[in-house]
Structure 1
Amino acid sequence: MAQHLFCGTAGRQVWPHEGPEILSLGRRERFFVVITTFNRAAYLADLLDSVAALNPAPDGVIVVNNASTDTTVSVIDAARTQLAALSTPIPVIHHELAENSGGSGGFSAGVQRALDEGAQWMWLMDDDVTAVPDAIGALGPWMEKYDAIVGRRYDAEGEPFFWQNNFNTFLGFPMPVRGDVFATSNEFATNVGCFEGMLLHADAARAVGLPDPRFFLNWDDTIYGWQLSLQRPVVYVNEFVLHKARSQRSIDLGIRHLNDSSDLSRFYVMRNRGLVAQYLRAHGRFNRVGFALGTALTAAKELLRLVGVEKTLRGSSRLWAGWRESRTILAATDFKPMPPLESTN
């Protein structure tokens, strides 16, 4: 593991500085946690408790509330009070949306709000994880070198969660990478993102643009990471920074685990193939034959998930409904990717 580059003080730690006077923190200024949540107040409360324990602390937390109808607002209010009372107070910003825009819309709004707040770094995460207390310090060395970083996660049982893949543009499909990717190095170059813990620099977000809310669910972080990788390195690093809090049924396929899903996710994993195709076209990487094969692989994986994990074929109709809608999206001739943002520098 990499050495953590932060200095201890009495109590909570602070970002390091050199010499007798505080100098510019450069690459480590304005670190924000950006959370997207929808109707999972109990998970959100645990996540915000873990944010309160982060040492060093972030400069702020943005909670994008996707029009939740449970006790999410009360949880955010309580966290605001809790984090304001810390020895190093952490501001909590409640960014409430008028309607549920899915994870994609939530992260799109969250990145925009973080940039508006002057964030230099945005740590993006769903509501059903918790942060490892020293996570920010652990990520610090890579913040000096890279603009897009994904740390490791533990699953709900405390075991390492498998996440190592590369996006195959011929298939339009992420392929798992066999073996120990950290056998010879503590960093692994990838070309996909993961909004369950991706750390993003503001320069990268401005260059690529906001996450595309049209995805709603699924493929959004894969395509966002791929677009980033066309401009700059995207790295998976050998530091455990998050715990997955939600237990899921799964089967072990040898090179990866396959978790349970939902009818909503099944619909969007197929529907969004149309958006994946449009992004490949926009970058001159679309191959009709390869993409059709990748779509067949996507459907096969989802059917295996249904049969192998959920022990049913109920829900397969949502796959076909999503595929039919993907055809409409794929046929559109007026599609435009999300535009780059103007730099404020």
Structure 2
Amino acid sequence: MHDAKQHPSSSDAAFDPSTATIVAVTFNRSGLLARLLTSIGEMDPKPGHVVVIDNASTDDTTEVVEAFREQIGTELVYRRLETNTGGSGGFSAGMQTAYDLGSEWMWLMDDDVEVIPDGLTKMGRWSTRFRSIQGRRYDFDGSEFYWQYRIAARMGIPIPFAPAEFDESGYKEMNSGCFEGMFIHRDIVRQIGLPDPRFFIYWDDQVYGWLASRITTSVIVNEFVLRRTREIKQWDMGVRHMNASSDNYRYYIMRNRSLIKQYYRSVGFYRPIPFALGTAATFAKELIRLVVVERTVRGTSNLFRGLRDGRDIARDRGWMPMPPLDRQSCPTPRAGS
């Protein structure tokens, strides 16, 4: 599974940009989406397709997308969902659309980023060696954004101080994933299935990246390919930052721990004690975020509510993971799980 560690400069020509599809998910942020679409129009080379999944926006998102249809310079596929399915549902629908288009590579991103003009070339350099790849991002202020690319797998939580530096190989192995920049091959998607819409938001990309890392060598590469376009309130910890959150996020952060537990159970990876420690650490982190970043204690009820609602998910013995795309006979997960 592991490849020799060398920079892939000699394999640039092997990547065909037309086989890649950018999948962007948006919800009521047409201004940010317009910036993303503008940056895609300035890419060289461009992907074969751009898929925009609209989570039932009530603003002028449809009009904005249609205005870019002629000027973006590649085929634009727009799907407006009937209800807001969260980022999880949006990326699940987007990846299904890209897969059905025959895309070899799917590049996932939120609407609050811009693509660096040569970003696809940078990602393509690694495509002959790896099939689950994460590029790097600039933050809103132009600084280097640190993403927690390693998780303490048994605990199911990120390792916040995993080394940020790269050696001469230009990559580091990861066991996680982030839908803000994940670049993944259709063969991996075929084997592990689509992202799970039941998460709605939070932990979905970590679990998806972890599943991918179990069947392929997943890497984060020393290539800056995206730039954040939305400023988020942060607490500067010196070497890392902690972002502000919301009541909705707090609820799903705790509720979805039970979905992680179910995925762990489905592959025989779950161990009660370390996972419980990971849940306790997550709860403590969210309390710190409330007090230090948002300077309030209001919102703790959403953490407890998430834990409570997660119990029903954890107790559901009929729960099933998302099925592989090459096994049409597999039962699909129950909507109420």
| 1:50 and 2:34 correspond | no
Moved over 6 A (4+): none
Candidates 150, 155, 160, aligned match of 1:166: 150
Structure 2, gaps ≥5 residues long: 1-6, 329-337
Q: Which amino acid aligns with 1:341?
A: L
| 1:286 and 2:244 correspond | no
Q: What is residue 79 of structure 1 aligned with on the other side? A: 68
Aligned pairs for 1:1-345 (under 5 A) are 3=9, 16=13, 29-83=18-72, 89-342=73-326
Secondary structure of the structure 2 residue equivalent to 1:241: strand
CA distance 1:108–1:205, change in 2 (3 Å) = same
Determine the C-alpha separation between the residues in 1 that align with 2:318 and 2:25: 29
> When the two structures are superposed, what TM-score results if normalisation uses the length of structure 1?
0.89
**Does the CA contact (< 8 Å) of 1:263 and 1:315 recur in 2?**
yes
Determine the C-alpha separation between the residues in 1 that align with 2:164 and 2:258: 33
- Superposition RMSD in Å: 1.8
**Does the CA contact (< 8 Å) of 1:123 and 1:199 recur in 2?**
yes
Give the drift of 1:144: 1.0
Q: Which amino acid aligns with 1:70?
A: D
Determine the C-alpha separation between the residues in 2 that align with 1:278 and 1:141: 36
Determine the C-alpha separation between the residues in 1 that align with 2:281 and 2:80: 37
Q: How many residues align?
A: 322
**Does the CA contact (< 8 Å) of 1:32 and 1:60 recur in 2?**
yes
**Does the CA contact (< 8 Å) of 1:40 and 1:127 recur in 2?**
yes
Determine the C-alpha separation between the residues in 2 that align with 1:48 and 1:317: 38
Deviations 1:138-173 (A, max 9, x none): 111101111110000000000000113322222121
Q: Which amino acid aligns with 1:38?
A: F
Give the drift of 1:257: 1.4
Determine the C-alpha separation between the residues in 2 that align with 1:140 and 1:200: 11
Give the drift of 1:135: 0.2
Give the drift of 1:226: 0.3
> When the two structures are superposed, what TM-score results if normalisation uses the length of structure 2?
0.91
Secondary structure of the structure 1 residue equivalent to 2:230: coil
**Does the CA contact (< 8 Å) of 1:111 and 1:210 recur in 2?**
yes
Deviations 1:324-343 (A, max 9, x none): 11111111111111011118
CA distance 1:153–1:176, change in 2 (3 Å) = same
Query: Percent same amino acid at aligned positions?
Result: 46
